[in-house]
């Protein structure tokens, strides 16, 4: 009987064990340093007791304190660098100070933005946006990807910023004197771009390459005619630095095979005159998952290699001027593939399949191709490429384009980890490559001519899913090192929840020390950055106010509608009414505007202030309108007074103590009263 009891006890124990055995996972530990690490006086380098108390109360580790000291910019002091970050599908460019990672400005580019008064009022900034219309469709969004600062002798000169819109193959010009978008141009033959914008060392051109191949001019052709009709393009937008505008009449394109060109970079120093672009669909896959075909993601990843496109844009520019060498398609001169081959403009070199970024080293001698699907970066030598071209050692692809031998042009490969995407450089001969899958930044050494000198040094985890990286002056012939910004796609657990659409995480690794450290996490809640470029702050010469009162920021010249005090008036010609208004703290002149229903109204406002910061905004009830009229600016808007009634207009910017009084009435009389 005793035994029976013990057996029963055993069974009970088993059941008890079952009840106690939880199948639930323990809550995951936070990935950050535990908060209970107390900072000791010695560790913090003799911090005063009150500061030590603050650190311990906030749970800060010595590492946190170091990061705070490296990034905090006190009131009244300035950041060292500007970071110009694309805003992705927000269509904007976000300007950030480094190392504080404070947002300085959100520059409206492809998308209307009311605070800046960008894209309202039918003319002015809306005409800039209209420059990017596609056929008769007004496009009021953009997918900004890759900002490019203008360069002089391979260094950022701080004058202009170019940025592409991937969605509709457009490029915008931003003037860095007033941080405003001045021009949007539409490629007449492409509907999507990606390898854009990038500039050669003296910004003779703004270069753009296609992403998804379409028939030129995106005209209709069934997908079954992919190989015959679908094409890519490299478009060389001529940049007129004097005018600060792209000169479409002197721009041209080079036809490319439909290989889905990806990112590009321009040569510099010895490789100036050349440009390099990756591609990821040399398979020429045409998708059609719904018809049982391999989806694009599988179809474009079949071959072990794709092609780096190598083109001599300087030679192409000469050829484009010669008669008979180009074909004008939708108003754009295009060098067709056979001409490009014949003239020695276009070459291909195999690269591990579906890579992402290609980045020329600061000395211009090497190109780093990041594997994306391959765990390596592959380094090509420009000299080897030139030798292979000179020796005419190549096979050809099915379009007759010379394909150089991989072994002839490749110099080294470094295994970095999973998902290498983009590479930046510092001033000490290191490369930094973002690893998307590993969520890390890999630091590796450039070995010059010695393949064994290319070595992985260190990997820094970042949070999380890093896309691009940007080092201080990283795209120039003389990078600064010091800071690197990791543009991460997923914040996961880094910020207070604003789910389900979360901000992106722009992280700041410190690369100035021997070991990389993350010293700041910045939530980017106004866009999805792709690439960003970082420029030394003192290179930007931004205006405090416009150079003179009555300035037209669109043309960056004095406005013909400039209105000075005493010149305010309302002119009527039939039912066309033109208003010349001034604004100054704290009144708008005139304060009464009387109109008739159906009037066509053109309204100019000159902000006659000359004091910095004295911006006046302008809103008019019942109209889809918002203006920002900065000191000295003359702004114009148009509308038709379709509805009679009494409306208030006022200054939207809290400009003075009597800001609320800065208003006026617009009275639109009905037809009967006229």
Partner 1 sequence: MSSEIEKVLGPRVPPDEFKAHRARYMIPTLLFVAAAILLVISIPRPWWRLKLVAPQYPAGLSVTAYINQMTGDIAEIDGLNHYIGMRPLGEAAEFERTISVFGIIAVSMLILAAAFVHNRWAALLALPALFLPLIFVLDLQFWLANFGMNLDPTAALSSSVDPFIPPVLWTGNIAQFSTVPRLLSGFWLAMWSSGLIAVGLFFHRRAYKPLVDKQSHARE
Tokens (6 digits) for 98: 């480094």
Rule CB under 8 A: is residue 461 a binding residue for partner 1?
Answer: yes
Q: How far apart are CA 216 and CA 212, in angstroms?
A: 11
Burial class for 1, CB neighbours closer than 10 Å (0-12, 13-18, 19+): exposed
Task: Map residue 22 onto helix, strand or coil.
Answer: coil
Question: Can you tell me the distance from the alpha carbon of 105 to that of 94, in angstroms, rounded to the nearest whole number?
Answer: 6
Query: CB-based burial of residue 211 (10 Å sphere; 0-12 exposed, 13-18 middle, 19+ buried)?
Result: buried
Residue 456 interacts with partner 1 (CB under 8 A): yes or no: no
Length reported for the chain:
674
Under DSSP, the state recorded for 527 is -
Binding segment toward partner 1, per CB under 8 A, in 244-252, 347-355, 606-614, 643-651:
347-355
- Cβ distance to partner 1 smaller for residue 294 or 598: 294
Taking CB under 8 A as the rule, does residue 262 contact partner 1?
A: no
By the rule CB under 8 A, 611 interacts with partner 1: no
Position 298 contacts partner 1 (CB under 8 A)? yes
Among residues 28 and 497, whose Cβ is nearest to partner 1? 28
The nearer residue to partner 1, 28 or 324, going by C-beta atoms, is: 28
By CB under 8 A, tell whether 17 contacts partner 1: yes
Q: Please, which residues have CB within 8 angstroms of residue 165's CB and are 6 or more apart in sequence?
A: 91, 109, 110, 132, 142, 143, 144, 171, 172, 184, 193
Nearer to partner 1, 111 or 301 (CB): 301
* Nearer CB in complex with partner 1: 104/418: 418
Residue 279 interacting with partner 1 (CB under 8 A): no
Q: How far is the CB of 464 from partner 1 (least distance, A)?
A: 4
User: Is the preceding omega at residue 369 within 30 degrees of 0, hence cis?
Assistant: no
Preceding peptide of 264 cis, ω within 30° = no
Contact 397, 357 (CB under 8 A): no
Instruction: Report which of 539, 462, 552, 443 is spatially closest to residue 123, judged by C-alpha positions.
Output: 552
**19 vs 49, beta carbon nearer partner 1:** 19
**Residue 293 in the binding site for partner 1 (CB under 8 A):** no
Compare residues 490 and 561 and give the one whose CB is closer to partner 1: 490
**Cβ 31 to partner 1 shortest distance, Å:** 5
* Per CB under 8 A, 289 contacts partner 1: no
3-state secondary structure 331-356: CEEEECHHHHHHCCCEEEEEEECCCC
Assess 8 for contact with partner 1 (CB under 8 A): yes
H or E segment at 330?
none
Task: Please select the residue that binds partner 1; options are 306, 438, 473, 552, rule is CB under 8 A.
Answer: 438
Using CA atoms, how far apart are residues 270 and 363, in angstroms rounded to an integer? Answer: 8
Nearest to 443 by CA among 461, 451, 452: 461
Spatial separation of the C-alpha atoms in residues 181 and 173, rounded to whole Å: 6
Residues 403-432 that bind partner 1 (CB under 8 A): 417-419
Residue 302, interface with partner 1 (CB under 8 A)? yes
Among 171, 320, 404, 440, binds partner 1 (CB under 8 A): 440
Given the complex with partner 1, which of 490 and 639 has the nearer CB atom?
490
- Residue placing its CB nearer to partner 1 in the complex, 82 or 436: 436
Nearest approach in angstroms of CB 11 to partner 1 is: 4
**Structure-token pair, residue 376:** 């390596």
Distance CA 526, CA 287 (A): 33
Q: Where do we find the tokens 């051109």?
A: 205
Listed ranges 43-51, 350-358, 391-399, 620-628: which one lies at the site for partner 1 (CB under 8 A):
350-358
Find tokens 């067709």 and name the residue. Answer: 336
Q: How many residues bind partner 1 (CB under 8 A)?
A: 43
543 binds partner 1 (CB under 8 A): no
If one asks whether residue 437 binds partner 1 (CB under 8 A), the answer comes out as: yes
Of 115-123, 321-329, 399-407, 490-498, the segment contacting partner 1 by CB under 8 A is: 490-498
CB of 18 to partner 1, least distance (A): 6
211 vs 488, which CB is nearer to partner 1?
488
User: Radius of gyration over alpha carbons of the chain, in Å?
Assistant: 30
- The answer to whether 290 contacts partner 1 (rule: CB under 8 A) is no
Footprint on this chain of partner 1 (rule: CB under 8 A): 1-4, 7-8, 10-11, 14, 17-18, 21, 23, 25, 28, 31, 294, 297-298, 301-302, 304, 352-354, 371, 373-375, 417-419, 437-440, 461, 463-465, 490, 492-493
């Amino acid at each position: 009987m005793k035994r029976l009891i013990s057996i029963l006890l055993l069974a009970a124990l088993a059941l008890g064990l079952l009840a106690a055995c939880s199948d639930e996972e323990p809550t995951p530990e936070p990935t950050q340093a535990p908060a209970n690490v107390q900072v000791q006086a010695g560790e913090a380098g003799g911090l005063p007791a009150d500061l030590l108390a603050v650190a311990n109360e906030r749970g800060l580790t010595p590492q946190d304190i170091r990061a705070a000291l490296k990034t905090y910019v006190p009131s009244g002091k300035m950041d060292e660098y500007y970071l110009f970050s694309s805003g992705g599908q927000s269509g904007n460019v976000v300007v950030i100070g480094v190392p504080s990672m404070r947002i300085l400005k959100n520059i409206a580019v492809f998308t209307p933005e009311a605070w800046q008064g960008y894209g309202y009022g039918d003319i002015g900034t809306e005409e800039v946006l209209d420059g990017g219309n596609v056929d008769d469709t007004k496009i009021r969004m953009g997918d900004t990807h890759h900002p490019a600062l203008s360069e002089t002798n391979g260094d950022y000169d701080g004058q202009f910023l170019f940025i592409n819109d991937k969605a509709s193959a457009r490029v915008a010009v931003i003037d860095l004197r007033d941080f405003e978008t001045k021009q949007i141009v539409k490629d007449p033959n492409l509907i999507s771009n990606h390898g854009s914008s990038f500039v050669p060392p003296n910004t003779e051109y703004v270069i753009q390459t296609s992403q998804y191949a379409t028939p030129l001019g995106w005209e209709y052709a069934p997908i079954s005619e992919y190989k015959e009709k679908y094409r890519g393009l490299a478009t060389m937008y001529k940049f007129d630095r004097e005018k600060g505008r792209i000169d479409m009449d002197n721009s041209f394109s080079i036809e490319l095979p439909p290989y889905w060109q990806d990112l590009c970079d321009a040569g510099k120093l010895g490789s100036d005159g050349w440009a390099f672009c990756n591609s990821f669909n040399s398979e020429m896959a045409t998708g059609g998952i719904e018809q049982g075909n391999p989806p694009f993601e599988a179809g474009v990843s079949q071959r072990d290699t794709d092609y780096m496109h190598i083109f001599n844009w300087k030679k192409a520019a000469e050829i484009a001027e010669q008669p008979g060498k180009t074909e004008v398609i939708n108003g754009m001169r295009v060098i067709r593939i056979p001409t490009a081959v014949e003239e020695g403009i276009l070459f291909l070199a195999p690269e591990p399949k579906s890579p992402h970024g290609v980045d020329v080293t600061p000395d211009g001698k090497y190109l780093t191709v990041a594997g994306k699907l391959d765990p390596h970066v592959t380094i090509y030598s420009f000299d080897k490429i030139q030798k292979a071209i000179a020796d005419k050692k190549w096979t050809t692809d099915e379009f007759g384009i010379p394909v150089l031998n991989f072994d002839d042009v490749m110099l080294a490969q470094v295994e970095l980890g999973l998902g290498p995407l983009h590479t930046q450089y510092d001033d000490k001969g290191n490369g930094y490559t973002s690893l998307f899958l590993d969520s890390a930044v890999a630091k590796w050494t450039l070995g010059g001519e010695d393949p064994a000198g290319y070595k992985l040094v260190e990997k820094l985890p970042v949070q999380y899913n890093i896309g691009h990286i940007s080092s201080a002056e990283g795209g120039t012939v003389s990078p600064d090192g010091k800071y690197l910004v990791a543009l991460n796609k997923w914040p996961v657990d880094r910020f207070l929840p604003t789910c389900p659409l979360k901000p992106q995480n722009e992280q700041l690794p410190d690369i100035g020390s021997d070991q990389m450290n993350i010293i700041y996490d910045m939530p980017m809640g106004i866009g999805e950055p792709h690439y960003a470029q970082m420029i030394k702050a003192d290179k930007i010469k931004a205006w405090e106010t416009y150079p003179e009162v009555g300035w037209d920021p669109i043309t960056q010249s004095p406005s013909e509608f400039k209105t000075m005090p005493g010149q305010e008036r309302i002119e009527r010609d039939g039912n066309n009414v033109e208003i010349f208004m001034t604004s100054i703290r704290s009144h708008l002149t005139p304060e009464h505007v009387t109109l008739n229903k159906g009037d066509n109204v053109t309204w100019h406002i000159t902000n006659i202030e000359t004091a910095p910061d004295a911006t006046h905004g302008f809103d008019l009830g019942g109209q889809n309108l918002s203006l920002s009229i900065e000191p000295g600016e003359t702004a114009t808007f148009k509308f038709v007074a379709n509805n009679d009634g009494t409306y208030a207009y006022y200054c939207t910017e809290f400009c003075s103590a009597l800001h609320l009084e800065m208003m006026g009435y617009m009275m639109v009389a009905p037809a009967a009263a006229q």
